[in-house]
Structure 1
């Protein structure tokens, strides 16, 4: 008979499970390390230098190909330093206070404001925000604004406004409003999703963005600054909680995760299937009784031994004399005395009397109990 010597799946797992678990731990460590690496950062929405889906790198490159200079700035001071006569694009008004926005409003030239009601009264005083917003979706311009009519449908919505020229309307107000200002034309957009890398190629999004931002030879693109906005959760000096956190905390979290994984593997190992084994010998009941008797004798437990003998005799005699289980002491003694013809006091002392004083008394008690039980069984 031939026997297969090829390894099975179970044998391969038992042989290599240590290395498999070790490799898994190394992979998890690498993933957590990459996630906690200092270079990892969140996507910056509408940032002309961000290539993620939320960024606007694609739009910035299209503007540059059309000869438009795109300057990315992240502070009011840098925007003011670029000078006047340029188109100013503000993507996050909530990150600047009123004094900074007032300085920004002094710049002469066209400006485009994307979303946010903060500072709208300073940067676009002739445009009124509505209390309701609209779902961002593909919308038709439905207006006479040349930039919107040439682009056609676009992915717009969000906050709604009222002004001189309103396009892409919602139920109350428009998602794009353009009005003349003191230093130039002011355009307010309820949402800037159509300018992101993810949606720029859909509908007329690219055309609308180029028509709005390509009217001047240069664009000052004001993005969200690195510090959190006024009123946000921050520590001393404007630093965020993440910046205040010690550098060792991420590694401590990583070590804790590894410890949990190792502990889970250690405690979760299977001990193997239950195996039923036969007893090496068969012990007879008589030997068990004899062994228990020797234990009683060694501990001089005459009271306990007598109680066990009496309880067993009463349990066996009660049904034979016609009594129900749990019958009282007097009933049992009277019935057994009548059945055996023995003296009731002698029967009561044997069944319910005090414990024997010595081993001889215990032997005598056992013999008498066996005697009355045999008489009841025979009659």
Structure 2
């Protein structure tokens, strides 16, 4: 006798997601993953913003408390910005002139000799004795940032308080200026007796003053208006710079600063780090730590936004009635008639197979042809003037409704006719 083994029942389907068999939970997993993905992205972006904020605060603290570098002079030959003179220094080097940029008046005095041109801006941080030491050690001196004090010390002249001409030529007997051309001068100066005035005249003022003597040549010019990187390529400014600064094979370019001052009667400007109290740095660090801890603390409590359905559904009919009440309250019959006519035109175009934005005249002609009435009457109704009062609005609305009903019935009859 043979016995038949009872059929095995299928293994129960696991719904906890641990089995490879698909289940309802497994089917729902991709959807939940899609839901969690935006949350994860928002969480990551939130932390990125927090870290960025902390870094910004840290950078601000470092800028506030760290020692700021010494501010270079606006006429610095190593500054590439618009107010610097790096371009003029490069042109001098290209012409074979050795240019040394020195920021210490002692080093500058040690490098000066009979074959050297001293170029400097107004040495206001130095005493008269230190300036005289520099001037006496150099054969040629070119002052590119004039001041009344330096004009007096070099016996060159004084400021001219007259307006500068738009363009001016050399107008003097200096051979080096023969090929300069025209310049647009900045500050003008009145020369002392025996001083040569170039690019202007002695009576009204000149842009360049030159004093020749046995001990060398002293020249003064407003370099901020002529020799900066912003203005060097204009007119004959570059040629004038070569003519003034390139007469000797060696140029020592001294850049004055308060760090190199030998004066005791002035207060050296302090940096932001010097003016900042010592407790500012610990407070900034403590604020950064507090902000980070607050972000972590509140970040755990803030969860994703929960979508919630509106408790009330506003029907389209209620919106329509509300707008109708507003129109009636405003007593704007023309506006109400225009709305009625616009709706009628839209529905007529749909019934007649025309475009939704068809011309009202075309819709009126098509409707008249379909119901076989005069086109002029339809055009007057659909394109003519609107009623201006409620008494006119009621019959106008009735006529629109009658026209729309007639067209709809005509179209329905035509479609039903075999």
| Range into which the TM-score falls when normalised by the shorter chain | 0.5 to 0.7
Of residues 230, 233, 242 in structure 1, which corresponds to 2:267? 233
Q: What per-residue deviation string (whole Å, max 9, x for no partner) do you get for residues 7-52 of structure 1?
A: 7978854663233222232245346536765574534332233344
Contact conserved, 1:124 with 1:186, CA < 8 A, in 2? yes
CA drift at 1:192 = 2.9
Of residues 101, 104, 121 in structure 1, which corresponds to 2:134? 104
Alignment of 1:335-354 (within 5 A): none
CA drift at 1:183 = 1.8
Contact conserved, 1:161 with 1:190, CA < 8 A, in 2? no
The equivalent residue for 2:75 is: 46
Task: Give the total of aligned pairs.
Answer: 270
In 1, Cα distance between equivalents of 2:281 and 2:130: 39
CA drift at 1:199 = 3.3
Structure 2 residue runs without a partner (length 5+): 1-27, 312-418
The equivalent residue for 1:360 is: none
CA drift at 1:211 = 1.6
Contact conserved, 1:141 with 1:169, CA < 8 A, in 2? no
The equivalent residue for 1:77 is: 106
Contact conserved, 2:118 with 2:138, CA < 8 A, in 1? no
- Aligned in 2, Cα 1:101/1:15: closer, same or farther, shift over 3 Å? closer
CA drift at 1:86 = 1.8
The equivalent residue for 2:190 is: 162
CA drift at 1:168 = 5.6
Secondary structure in structure 2 of the residue aligned to 1:150: coil
Secondary structure in structure 1 of the residue aligned to 2:220: strand
Of residues 126, 138, 141 in structure 1, which corresponds to 2:169? 141
In 1, Cα distance between equivalents of 2:282 and 2:163: 44
- Aligned in 2, Cα 1:214/1:277: closer, same or farther, shift over 3 Å? closer
Normalised to the residue count of structure 2, the TM-score between the two structures is 0.50
Alignment of 1:358-369 (within 5 A): none
In 2, Cα distance between equivalents of 1:12 and 1:208: 63
The equivalent residue for 2:249 is: 217
CA drift at 1:70 = 1.7
CA RMSD of aligned residues (A): 4.6
Identify which range, 66-75 or 33-42, moves more after superposition: 33-42
CA drift at 1:210 = 1.3
Secondary structure in structure 1 of the residue aligned to 2:210: strand
Contact conserved, 1:46 with 1:54, CA < 8 A, in 2? yes
- Aligned in 2, Cα 1:258/1:222: closer, same or farther, shift over 3 Å? same
The equivalent residue for 1:20 is: 49
CA drift at 1:197 = 3.2
| 1:114 and 2:148 matched | no
In 2, Cα distance between equivalents of 1:250 and 1:132: 50
In 2, Cα distance between equivalents of 1:33 and 1:16: 26
| 1:124 and 2:124 matched | no
Secondary structure in structure 2 of the residue aligned to 1:93: coil
Structure 1 residue runs without a partner (length 5+): 279-379
Normalised to the residue count of structure 1, the TM-score between the two structures is 0.55
CA drift at 1:215 = 0.6
The equivalent residue for 2:357 is: none
Secondary structure in structure 2 of the residue aligned to 1:16: helix
The equivalent residue for 1:33 is: 62
The equivalent residue for 1:204 is: 236
Secondary structure in structure 1 of the residue aligned to 2:118: strand
The equivalent residue for 1:325 is: none
Contact conserved, 1:142 with 1:169, CA < 8 A, in 2? no
CA drift at 1:191 = 3.6
Secondary structure in structure 1 of the residue aligned to 2:137: coil
CA drift at 1:260 = 9.2
Contact conserved, 1:115 with 1:192, CA < 8 A, in 2? yes
